[in-house]
């Protein structure tokens, strides 16, 4: 076991000062376990190109193009199983779960294609938020057996890597467009802190004794000031800029 490597990553990832530094640290960990390939991605919707949602990753040459061309994201058993999983699982476990699925033959073709590219087996770890599944981290290549303890620690690594990469990616995108206004009113800071704690507009309105409409009005103002795309983006930027801790 390389449990110390996993624990080391969980400690040092908070000290990384760029997305590139996080990726370097993560790839060192993944290689230490013997995995050849990996990906950290946001959860794709049916009409989205999954490769455009990649936060970090390394795949066999030609595999992403084949995966997209054959629209495997629609039947990929690991992606489908993620919707039910609360923790990491092995790729082959997902395939077994869909043994009676009408798309089983297409899943088997996908498996045969992936084997040709050296993707024999691996693990995938879901990342959840208050609104549900947000993304995942997957590692794979040749078959490697992880202990239950290692799977649990990889689960923690996936969440840490995902949120830190989201934080830097969104911050970099916003900074490249225009300066960010971090001056907040007292009420905006209250709303922002509750949002960072994962509360909904309805929950925040009850605590602050204001209407949902008023909470959303403050949210929109905060989003405009931070040049954020959505509430998740607001939270990521807020941690990055030190507005919330």
Per-residue pLDDT of 176-190, as tens digits, reads 444 566 688 889 999
Return d(Cα 23, Cα 15) in angstroms, integer. 13
Q: Are 58 and 38 in contact (CB under 8 A)?
A: yes
User: Is 126 a domain residue?
Assistant: yes
What pLDDT is attached to residue 56? 94
12 shares its domain with 128: yes
- Digit-coded pLDDT (tens) for 7-46: 999 999 988 989 999 999 999 999 999 999 999 998 766 5
What pLDDT is attached to residue 234? 86
Per DSSP, the residues of 36-84 read -EEEEEEPPPTTS-GGGGEEEEE--TTHHHHHHHTTGGGT-HHHHHHTT
What pLDDT is attached to residue 44? 64
What pLDDT is attached to residue 237? 80
User: Is 49 a domain residue?
Assistant: yes
What pLDDT is attached to residue 49? 62
Residue 1 predicted with pLDDT over 70:
no
Of 156, 174, 192, the residue that ends a domain is 174
**Closest residue by Cα to residue 53 from 68, 70, 35:** 68
Domain range holding 182? 178-240
- Output the CA angle 216-219-221, nearest 5 degrees: 115
CATH number at residue 229: 1.10.10.10
Region of residue 227 (left: phi > 0; alpha: psi -120 to 50; beta: else): left
- Digit-coded pLDDT (tens) for 150-202: 999 999 999 999 988 987 876 554 444 445 666 888 899 999 989 988 889 99
144 shares its domain with 25: yes
CATH number at residue 22: 3.30.450.80
User: Is 22 a domain residue?
Assistant: yes
Return d(Cα 213, Cα 205) in angstroms, integer. 9
Return d(Cα 227, Cα 107) in angstroms, integer. 41
Residue 243 predicted with pLDDT over 90:
no
User: Is 245 a domain residue?
Assistant: no
25 shares its domain with 135: yes
Return the beta strands (E) in the chain as ranges.
Answer: 37-42, 54-58, 89-90, 121-129, 132-141
Of 174, 203, 226, the residue that ends a domain is 174
80 shares its domain with 182: no
Q: What's the whole-number average pLDDT of the chain?
A: 87
Residue 245 predicted with pLDDT over 70:
no
- Digit-coded pLDDT (tens) for 125-146: 998 875 678 889 999 999 999 9
Of 123, 154, 174, the residue that ends a domain is 174
Partners of 133 in the beta sheet?
Answer: 128
- Mean pLDDT value of segment 90-118: 92
Q: How confident is the model at residue 236 (pLDDT cuts 50, 70, 90)?
A: confident
Torsion angle in degrees (nearest 10) through CA of 162, 168, 173, 178? 150
- Work out how many domains the chain is built from and give that number: 2
Neighbours of 55 (CB within 10 A): 20
What pLDDT is attached to residue 177? 40
156 shares its domain with 187: no
Q: What percent of the chain has pLDDT over 90?
A: 51
């Amino acid at each position: 076991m390389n449990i110390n490597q996993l624990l080391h990553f969980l400690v040092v990832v908070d000290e990384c000062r760029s997305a590139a530094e996080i990726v370097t640290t993560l790839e060192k960990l993944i290689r230490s376990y013997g995995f050849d390939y990996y990906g950290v991605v946001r959860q794709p919707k049916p009409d989205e190109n999954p490769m455009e949602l990649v936060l970090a990753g390394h795949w066999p040459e030609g595999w992403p193009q084949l995966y997209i061309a054959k629209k495997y994201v629609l039947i990929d058993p690991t992606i489908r199983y993620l919707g039910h999983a609360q923790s990491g699982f092995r790729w082959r476990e997902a395939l077994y779960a869909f043994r009676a699925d009408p798309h089983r033959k297409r899943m088997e073709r996908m498996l045969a294609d992936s084997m040709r590219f050296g993707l024999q087996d691996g693990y995938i770890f879901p990342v959840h938020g208050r609104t549900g599944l947000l993304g995942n981290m997957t590692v794979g290549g040749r078959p490697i057996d992880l202990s239950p303890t290692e799977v649990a620690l990889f689960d923690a690594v996936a969440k840490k890597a995902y949120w830190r990469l989201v934080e830097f990616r969104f911050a970099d995108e916003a900074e490249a467009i225009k300066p960010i206004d971090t001056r907040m009113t007292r009420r905006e800071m209250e709303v922002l802190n509750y949002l960072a704690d994962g509360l909904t507009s309805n929950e925040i309105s009850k605590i602050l004794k204001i209407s949902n409409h008023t909470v959303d009005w403050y949210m929109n103002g905060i989003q405009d000031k931070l040049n954020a795309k959505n509430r998740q983006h607001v939270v990521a930027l807020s941690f990055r800029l030190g507005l919330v801790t």
